[in-house]
A and B are shown apart, each in its own frame.
Chain A
Amino acid sequence: DGGITQSPKYLFRKEGQNVTLSCEQNLNHDAMYWYRQDPGQGLRLIYYSQIVNDFQKGDIAEGYSVSREKKESFPLTVTSAQKNPTAFYLCASSTDTSDTQYFGPGTRLTVL
């Protein structure tokens, strides 16, 4: 089955620790995205990548980092510099950046 997978579904970390969220797609999509969702604020773009080995900051990139070494994978690291990391994180992909985005099931990160 083609799709986007995110793991884990729930993640707990202590304050001050870096944590990496996984996102994998087997849709052969070039573009991939990371969003953060907070109650009442909709989705906000963290980073996006139009092609392998390239990525761009979104609206709220501070405290986050990404890599795009393979077409299928776009991991997001939430660093200790992110002041309020507890949120629901959504990964998406599309054939190109102007097309429909398809979303993974999300990872809920809680920092204790």
Chain B
Amino acid sequence: GNSVTQMEGPVTLSEEAFLTINCTYTATGYPSLFWYVQYPGEGLQLLLKATKADDKGSNKGFEATYRKETTSFHLEKGSVQVSDSAVYFCARANQAGTALIFGKGTTLSVSS
């Protein structure tokens, strides 16, 4: 089964609302964790990453903390904008370190 699990979308928010997208993983050890964002019709862009437990990744107002106790890497933003509307993917490095394993993605829709 998929070892990265994201909350199902779509997530629909009003502008300036608080965002949380949950992500949990199963793994042996402590793999690097990533959040990618995909805007309509485009490829994925790295949003942020964390390479070890308790690290906090941040970028463009988004944050995520590597929580080994709960095997989670939840994405948060304090005040979303319409331009944040996109699909967000959580990912972790696989055990061999040869590729990334992606969650199924969470669609975020922000309205003004």
- Measured CB to CB, the residues of A under 8 A from B are 4, 6, 33, 35, 40-43, 45, 48, 50, 56, 58, 90, 92, 97-98, 100-106
Residue from A4, A56, A98 having most chain B Cβ neighbours under 10 A: A98
8 contacts between A and B (CB under 8 A): A43-B44, A43-B89, A48-B99, A98-B93, A102-B46, A103-B45, A105-B43, A106-B41
CB-based contact A105/B42 at 8 Å: yes
CB-based A-B contact count at 8 angstroms: 48
Count class of interface residues, chain B: 20 to 34
Option from A41, A50, A56, A106 in Cβ contact (under 8 Å) with B43: A106
- Asked if B98 and A50 sit within 8 Å, CB to CB, the answer is yes
What residues of chain A lie closer than 8 Å to B89, measured between beta carbons?
42-43
Closest to B107 in A: A40
Chain A residues contacting B34 (CB-CB under 8 Å) are: 100
Q: Are B98 and A56 in contact (CB under 8 A)?
A: yes
Contact partner, B97, options A4, A40, A43, A98, Cβ 8 Å: A98
CB-CB < 8 A to B32: which residues of A? 98
Q: Which residue of A lies closest to B101 (CB)?
A: A45
A97 in contact with B97 given A42-B89, A42-B102, A42-B103 (CB within 8 Å): yes
A104 touches B43 (CB 8 A): yes
Q: Give the CA-CA distance A23 to B46 in the complex, in Å.
A: 19
Candidates B46, B97, B105; contact of A42 at CB < 8 Å: B105
Within B65-112, the residues touching A (CB, 8 Å) are 89, 93, 97-100, 102-105
A42 touches B104 (CB 8 A): yes
**A106 with B42: in contact, given A40-B104, A42-B105 (CB under 8 Å)?**
yes
Residue of A nearest to B45 (CB): A103
Which chain A residue shows the least CB distance to B9? Answer: A40
From A35, A41, A100, A106, name the one whose CB has the most chain B CB atoms within 10 angstroms: A100
Closest 9 pairs between A and B when the two form their complex, measured CB to CB: A103-B43, A98-B97, A42-B104, A103-B44, A43-B102, A97-B98, A105-B43, A42-B102, A106-B43
Taking the closest CB of chain B, its distance from the CB of A10, in whole angstroms, is 10
